[in-house]
């Protein structure tokens, strides 16, 4: 029987660090190879193999996959929404070519599985904003959303055309404390905790009533692993699954923090990220993920806030 050997690309990012550590617990430290452009993250040091990799270099990636007998790839390297708007062509190039490199090597080397995350950014101002369905109008307006939507079509294409077992989730904004966020529009919901603890004050770059779908990192890691562990026959969506846990505004998260830090105050100074947020859903309908592979979130705003403030 073939043993699972996993490559995580973008392992030093906000999701990558926690996902790598979770996968090492499940599959054994030496069976999960972490890789990134950056230097190894402190939390990964001493926990398993680390290689430096530029995913844009297909040859280098191919050699790595063969040399380490890789059977599964988790591709997390990307340019995120807010950073992407500063250099749209670069974001398109990196987000698309990295995925095409991985999908093509998965096809050539007959890999068992590939994971690549999409985002709620695939939706745009013409999508229904409330409980946005799995299948609906998808007209993204950011380059990040456009690249994620195109990526979803490529995933489905490689699955249908070549049988590559690629799986994907449309993550909402992810909140965590272990590894810093990488330039997304929902990063305010992380900054707010640091500022609340250090200065009892936070100025939000989104307006007070901007509702966005959000999720606490432990739920996101569990969702990712549960999707990847599910029987292939249950995976009916080969583009990317809607995934949901909670939805709140800057004002609401501020009020929740105030329950723990009574002196906490908030101000609002919306910047260019407001326009990005305005084009995204307020909340997501993830019925299909719940039905197909049993998804269920554990953290709501209150439980997440308590845990963040305890751990930051």
Catalytic machinery residues? 144
Residue 80 touches ligand NAD, criterion: CB under 6 A: yes
Picking from 210, 78, 205, the residue whose alpha carbon sits closest to that of residue 144 is 78
Residue 114 touches ligand NAD, criterion: CB under 6 A: no
**Binding positions for ligand NAD, 51-70, rule CB under 6 A:** 53-56
H helix runs in the chain, sequence order: 14-27, 58-67, 81-86, 88-108, 143-162, 188-199, 217-229, 250-258, 272-278, 287-293, 301-311
* Neighbouring residues of 67: CB distance < 8 A, sequence distance ≥ 6: none
**Binding positions for ligand NAD, 277-296, rule CB under 6 A:** none
Picking from 38, 104, 29, 37, the residue whose alpha carbon sits closest to that of residue 73 is 104
Q: Nearer Cβ to ligand NAD, position 104 or 258? A: 104
The piece of 47-55, 129-137, 191-199, 302-310 that touches ligand NAD (CB under 6 A) is: 47-55
Q: What gap in Å lies between CA 166 and CA 113, rounded to an integer?
A: 6
Pick one of 6, 7, 23, 77: the residue that binds ligand NAD (CB under 6 A).
77
* Neighbouring residues of 172: CB distance < 8 A, sequence distance ≥ 6: 120, 186, 212, 213, 214, 215, 243, 244, 245, 284
Q: Are the beta carbons of 268 and 250 closer than 8 angstroms?
A: yes
* Alpha carbon separation from 133 to 73, 136, 214, 299 (Å, rounded): 28, 6, 16, 21
Residue 190 touches ligand NAD, criterion: CB under 6 A: no
Pick one of 70, 76, 105, 122: the residue that binds ligand NAD (CB under 6 A).
76
Q: What gap in Å lies between CA 114 and CA 192, rounded to an integer?
A: 34
Pick one of 5, 24, 34, 36: the residue that binds ligand NAD (CB under 6 A).
36
**Binding positions for ligand NAD, 252-271, rule CB under 6 A:** none
Residue 22 touches ligand NAD, criterion: CB under 6 A: no
Q: Nearer Cβ to ligand NAD, position 73 or 264? A: 73
Edge-to-edge, what's the strand order for the sheet holding 246-248?
173-175, 212-216, 246-248
Size of the site for ligand NAD (CB under 6 A): 27
Q: Nearer Cβ to ligand NAD, position 264 or 280? A: 280
Residue 13 touches ligand NAD, criterion: CB under 6 A: yes
Residue 25 touches ligand NAD, criterion: CB under 6 A: no
Residue 14 touches ligand NAD, criterion: CB under 6 A: yes
CA angle 104, 109, 114 (to 5 degrees): 60
Q: Nearer Cβ to ligand NAD, position 217 or 264? A: 217
Residue 38 touches ligand NAD, criterion: CB under 6 A: yes
Q: Nearer Cβ to ligand NAD, position 48 or 264? A: 48
Q: Which residues bind ligand NAD (CB under 6 A)?
A: 9-10, 12-16, 36-38, 53-56, 76-78, 80, 117, 119, 171, 173-174, 181-182, 184, 186
């Amino acid at each position: 029987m073939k043993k699972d050997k996993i490559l995580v690309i973008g392992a030093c990012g906000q999701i990558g660090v926690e996902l790598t550590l979770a996968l090492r617990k499940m599959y054994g430290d030496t069976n999960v190879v972490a890789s990134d452009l950056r230097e190894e993250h402190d939390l990964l040091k001493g926990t398993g193999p680390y290689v430096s990799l530029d995913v844009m270099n297909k040859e280098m990636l191919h050699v790595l996959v063969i040399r380490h007998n890789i059977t599964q790839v988790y591709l997390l390297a990307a340019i995120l929404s807010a950073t992407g708007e500063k250099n749209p062509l670069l974001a398109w190039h990196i987000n698309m070519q990295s995925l095409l490199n991985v999908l093509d090597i998965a096809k050539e080397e007959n890999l068992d599985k590939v994971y690549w995350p999409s985002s709620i950014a695939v939706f745009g101002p013409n999508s229904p904003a409330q409980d946005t369905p799995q299948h609906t109008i998808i007209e993204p307006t950011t380059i990040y959303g456009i690249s994620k939507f195109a990526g979803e079509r490529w995933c489905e294409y490689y699955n249908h055309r070549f049988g590559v077992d690629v799986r994907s989730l449309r993550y909402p904004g992810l909140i965590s404390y272990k590894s810093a966020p990488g330039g997304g529009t929902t990063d305010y919901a992380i900054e707010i905790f640091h500022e609340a603890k250090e200065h009892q004050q936070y100025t939000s770059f989104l307006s007070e009533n901007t509702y966005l779908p959000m999720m606490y990192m432990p739920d996101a890691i569990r969702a990712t692993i549960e999707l990847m562990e599910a029987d292939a026959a249950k995976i009916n969506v080969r583009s990317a699954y809607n995934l949901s846990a909670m939805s709140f505004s800057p004002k609401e998260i501020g009020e929740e923090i105030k329950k723990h830090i009574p002196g906490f105050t908030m101000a609002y100074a919306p910047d260019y990220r407001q326009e990005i947020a305005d084009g995204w859903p307020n909340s997501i309908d993830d019925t299909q993920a719940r039905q197909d592979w049993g998804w269920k979130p554990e953290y709501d705003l209150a439980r997440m806030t308590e845990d963040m403030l305890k751990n930051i």
